Amino acid sequence: MTPTELETGAHLDALEPWRAAEFAAHMDRAREHIRPWVGPSFLSDDVAGAHATLTRYAEHLAHDGPRIYGIWADGTLVGGVMFVEFHAAAGVCEVGCWSEPAGEGHGHITAAVTELLRYAFEVRGMHRVEWRCRSDNLRSIAVARRLGMVHEGDLREAWLVDGTFHDKAVWSLLSHEFDGRDRTSSG
C-alpha cells in the first residue's frame, strides 16, 4: 500500500522501524487506553520495544504477511490499522486497529480500515477479511458494523487479559460484499 490521504484529512502510511521513537511516544499516550483491547506484545514500553514491534511487522511484510500502518492527524501519530494476519494464498486476512483518545471520534479508523479492505479485495484478491475483538469492545464493534461486516459469533473465553478470559467476537466481510464506499459518515 502507498501513503494515502484519508477522507477525514488524516494521513495513512506504513509504520516502519525508523519511526520507533514516534511510535513509542504515541504508545505512551495510548497505552492505558488500549491495554484492555490489544495483545500484550503490542504494548511497547520504550523506544527499544517500539522498534522491536515495528521490526517484527517489517519482517512479516517482507514475507507477504502481517503489516502495520499509522494514522497521522495534523502531523501527530494518533492511531493505526494493521493486517493482524495476511494469508494471500488462502485468500483470508484479519484487520485490526487501535487509537489514542485524541484520535477517536473523527472517523479515522473507519476510513483507514476501508483502505485496508480496498487493498485486500481490489489489489490482492482476498476472498475474506476478518475482524476479531473482545465482545465487550463496543467501539471496535461499531467500526465492524460501519464497514458492513457480518457478526459470525463469539468465541467463548478466547481472549486472556490480566488473568481473566473474555469472549472474542468474530466479524467478517467477503469480497462480493465489499462495495468500496467510504463509511466515515455512516452509522
pLDDT digits over 156-175, tens only?
999 888 889 999 999 999 99
Could you give the strand order of the β-sheet that contains 4-5, starting from the edge strand earlier in sequence? 4-5, 11-14, 67-73, 76-87, 92-99, 128-134, 164-174, 150-161
For residues 129 and 182, the model is more confident at 129
Residue 185 lies in a domain: no
Is the pLDDT at 180 greater than 80, yes or no? no
Q: Which three cell numbers stand for residue 148?
A: 458492513
**pLDDT value of residue 14:** 96
135: containing domain: 4-177
**pLDDT value of residue 181:** 65
Residue 135 lies in a domain: yes
Q: Check: CB of residue 159 under 8 Å from CB of residue 166.
A: yes
Residue 143 lies in a domain: yes
**pLDDT value of residue 187:** 40
**pLDDT value of residue 177:** 95
Is the pLDDT at 78 greater than 70, yes or no? yes
SS3 83: strand
Residue 183 lies in a domain: no
Q: Of 154, 113, 150, 109, which is closest to residue 136 (Cα–Cα)?
A: 154
Q: Of 68, 64, 67, which is closest to residue 23 (Cα–Cα)?
A: 68
Q: What percent of the chain has a predicted confidence (pLDDT) above 70?
A: 96
Residue 88 lies in a domain: yes
Distance between CA atoms of 4 and 110, rounded to whole angstroms? Answer: 14
Residue 115 lies in a domain: yes
**pLDDT value of residue 40:** 77
Q: What is the mean pLDDT of the chain?
A: 93
- CATH code (residue 148): 3.40.630.30
Instruction: Work out how many domains the chain is built from and give that number.
Output: 1
pTM tops 0.85: yes
Residue 171 lies in a domain: yes
SS3 92: strand
**pLDDT value of residue 183:** 58
- Residues 6 or more apart whose Cβ sits within 8 Å of residue 111: 6, 7, 8, 10, 12, 182, 183, 184
